[in-house]
Chain A
Amino acid sequence: MDTDEWTYRRYAVDESRICPSGKVYRPEAKIRVSGTRGEAYLRALLDTGADHTVLPFSIAADISAELFEGEADVAKGVSGHEITIVPGKVELELLGRDESCRWTAVIGFAQSVSSMDECSILGHAGCLEFFLAAFDGLSQVVELTPRPNFPSLAQ
């Protein structure tokens, strides 16, 4: 399996002192996530600061993910705000232009208080732990290369 590359996604936002260009650039990858009765296609943030891979709970319901409801955990962001994450077993697939790689993982489904707080994050456990990641801020490309601990070499 080869190195995979994704171009950062640009979003227009309010201009400010901390963001004078009025644009933010996000290293996101296109993924497919599958549960027991459905699948969803997402753009998810590649986040080396996240301990875990976390998707919104609404997606768990949509794809009928196999949930471990009695084993919910707590997650905190930099603000210290707590959210509940419910573990769920899914198949994840990173989608490039012509190829893909997929694996099975237990990830977290976040029960956000508001839809405004929802986000899709590919963190270490469940995703980045299996790759060498290179973030090129100049060319705004992120590269992922599977490492020998990658759980499946399908396709």
Chain B
Amino acid sequence: MMDTQQPPTVPIEHCGKWIAWDFDETKIIATGQSYAETRKAAQAAGEDRPVLVKAPQADARFIGGHR
């Protein structure tokens, strides 16, 4: 099993937000402040299986667990 295609860099304007990628993770479909809002927006845009991820904050370094 391989997933080694280099995906695009997530732009800084999405920092701290939930991001919904298309299922193949080639493009960002939607962003939002909450998981539910972002998933709903991605599905409304036609992506049945959005892949969601919470992007790191631009000005705070994540070092594990709760920040």
Binding site for B on A (CB under 8 A): 2-7, 9-14, 18-19, 22-24, 26, 28-30, 40-44, 47, 49-50, 56, 58-59, 62, 75-79, 81-83, 94-101, 110, 112, 115-121, 141
Contact = CB atoms under 8 A, between A and B. Distances in A.
Contacts, number: 139
A13 B58 contact: yes
A116 B16 contact: yes
Contacts of B1: 2-5, 94, 96-101
A30 B53 CA distance: 9
Interface residues of B, number: 41
B66 A79 contact: yes
B34 interface: yes
B7 A7 contact: yes
B51 A5 contact: no
